[in-house]
Amino acid sequence: MSALGSMELGLENPLDETEAPFGSFNPPWLGGSSDGFQFEQEYSLVSDTLVPGRFYKIKYGGGGLLETAGRAYGLRQGAERLKHAQAINNHPLNMKFWQPPKNAFERKYFGKGVISFSPRFSCGNKKCYATIWIPPAKPYVHPFLGRGAVVDGFDEPVDLRQSQRECDEESASKRLSVGRRIDMTKVPFRWICRLRVFLKQPDGEIRQSFATGTLVGPRHVLTAAHVFDVNWANDPTTPVEVLAINVAAGADGLRIPFSWSKTKPLDWRSPPNWRSSNFDPRFDFGMIRLPNPPIAYRRFGKLKHKTLSFWGNAGKVDGAFLLPVKVLPEYGIPTLAGKALNICGYQIHANGRPTLVPATVKSVGPTAMRRPIRQLITYAADTSQGISGSPVWYWDEKSKLRYLIAVHHGGCGNCETPPGLDDCTMQRVGEDCMSDPKIGVLLTQQVIRQMCDWINEDYNVKRGIAL
């Protein structure tokens, strides 16, 4: 089996911190040098008509900014139309089209600059256009974040007397024994991290909620961006204040075999386009940096004094690959359509114990307005609060290898805003919103490139290397 795409580190001594954890890691399937993670104006999100939550092709002679805002949101003249025009104008993706204000009205309401609808920003003739982002009418708010139990402090309760759990089996079919316990010291479960998220409520009360992540580097945990970067559901303009996140690899209730770390906002990363796109699910992935020394290189008695390692470090623990889904055919996996997947995380009703959830792929690249969203995967799975950020992987029974393919986002809708995907169904059950299918963020080349950039950036900052 080739090591292509398996994040082989090439470290002779895994405990030697003088070596870069990823060096200038840039495997050939990433397509050369990294140029950052850019918000793609893909065909799937570009519309010829004015639709909130889509890119719009400005047409020469098609009206100015106020008229565009009115048509997009169904508004006539007035303060509300002006407010939406300012939101379009001030969106980070549209500032590149700014021109200096030319009259008193523009200087008053668009003082820093106003989008030009001139053909000079197109191709130089009337048939060309600029492409601007029309923000959603109401920002998407993840339905789970913000709940939780009241707590007094940030310490992690531990009971080392808790018994060892029996190992469950990964799903290579639709059959799975959900009644069995998971041995969290086994691969890949020991790399799955319980995230205890501490949220400061608007009234000042501190609550605790759960989420999930995956150790994918010497001290880096992959999770969902909305775990630490999102707005309140009852006030979508106000960011949630996350005070701290406790990270415990392989946790099982009160039993924590590999210790735990407390992290703070400086330790968290989300893509720049996650917030600027009003929390577009395509960008719902992030990373948490754990303190030194790198936990992946530590040796634990529960592992017979072997290192913990991490998902993708195939040179140390075989059988767990982290690579872009684009190269899966090179590993004998021509398609994920209809495949049985595994999701393992810490659903809040499980009292801090892990749950292994079977899933069946419904669509790779689901459609919105009948156009594919290539960064997402949808699947049928019984998930709930706390499992956000979980690893979604495919277990190949024939080769006995597992491939991390996505980060679990959650349901396809929140019952408050129109569904973004064509096949999304939603209904309220009490206070909860039940939606189907569930969504994962695919590990595309861009996602893995961003992960590598974060890891390398953290290492270079530690070494004092100018970026």
Per-position pLDDT tens, the chain of length 467: 322 223 222 222 222 333 333 333 333 333 333 332 333 333 345 667 787 777 787 766 667 888 889 988 888 888 889 988 998 888 767 887 888 998 999 999 999 899 877 755 555 555 556 788 887 776 555 655 545 566 555 555 544 333 333 334 555 544 444 445 688 888 899 999 999 999 888 788 888 888 999 999 999 999 999 999 987 776 667 788 899 999 999 999 888 999 899 999 999 999 988 887 778 889 999 999 999 899 999 999 989 899 999 998 855 556 788 889 998 998 889 999 989 899 999 987 777 788 888 889 999 999 887 888 889 999 998 888 889 999 999 988 888 889 999 999 998 887 777 777 888 888 887 777 788 899 999 999 999 999 999 988 876 555 443 33
Measured distance CA(7)–CA(22) in Å, rounded: 8
Q: Which of 405, 440, 433 is nearest to 419 (CA)?
A: 433
Measured distance CA(355)–CA(242) in Å, rounded: 24
Q: Report the pLDDT value the prediction gives residue 245, as an integer from 0 to 100.
A: 95
User: What are the beta bridge partners of residue 307?
Assistant: 299
Q: Report the pLDDT value the prediction gives residue 461, as an integer from 0 to 100.
A: 53
Measured distance CA(255)–CA(353) in Å, rounded: 9
DSSP state of 327: G
Longest CA span, the chain: 75
Contact 9, 315 (CB under 8 A): yes
Q: Which of 143, 118, 73, 66 is nearest to 386 (CA)?
A: 143
Measured distance CA(351)–CA(224) in Å, rounded: 20
The conformational region for residue 256 under phi > 0 = left, psi -120 to 50 = alpha, else beta, is beta
Measured distance CA(454)–CA(39) in Å, rounded: 17
Measured distance CA(64)–CA(338) in Å, rounded: 47
Q: Report the pLDDT value the prediction gives residue 195, as an integer from 0 to 100.
A: 95
Q: Report the pLDDT value the prediction gives residue 352, as an integer from 0 to 100.
A: 79
Q: Report the pLDDT value the prediction gives residue 150, as an integer from 0 to 100.
A: 61
Residues 6+ apart with CB under 8 A from 306: 299, 300
Measured distance CA(145)–CA(362) in Å, rounded: 25
Q: Report the pLDDT value the prediction gives residue 123, as an integer from 0 to 100.
A: 54
Q: Report the pLDDT value the prediction gives residue 202, as an integer from 0 to 100.
A: 79
Residues 6+ apart with CB under 8 A from 197: 148, 208, 209, 210, 211, 227, 228, 242, 245
Q: Report the pLDDT value the prediction gives residue 132, as an integer from 0 to 100.
A: 84
Contact 254, 210 (CB under 8 A): no
DSSP strand pairing (432-436 vs 425-429): antiparallel
Q: Which of 353, 227, 343 is nearest to 288 (CA)?
A: 227
Beta strands in 156-304 (DSSP E): 192-200, 206-215, 220-223, 231-232, 235-239, 241-249, 261-263, 268-269, 286-289, 299-300
Q: Report the pLDDT value the prediction gives residue 94, as an integer from 0 to 100.
A: 80
- Neighbouring CB atoms inside 10 A of 35's CB total 9
- CA angle, 251 then 195 then 392, to 5°: 85
Domains of the chain: 28-38+143-463 (2.40.10.120), 54-134 (no CATH)
What is the pTM assigned to this prediction?
0.73
Tokens 């719902």 sit on residue = 284
Residues 6+ apart with CB under 8 A from 7: 22, 25, 27, 216, 312, 313, 314, 322, 323
Measured distance CA(246)–CA(197) in Å, rounded: 7
Q: Report the pLDDT value the prediction gives residue 5, as an integer from 0 to 100.
A: 28
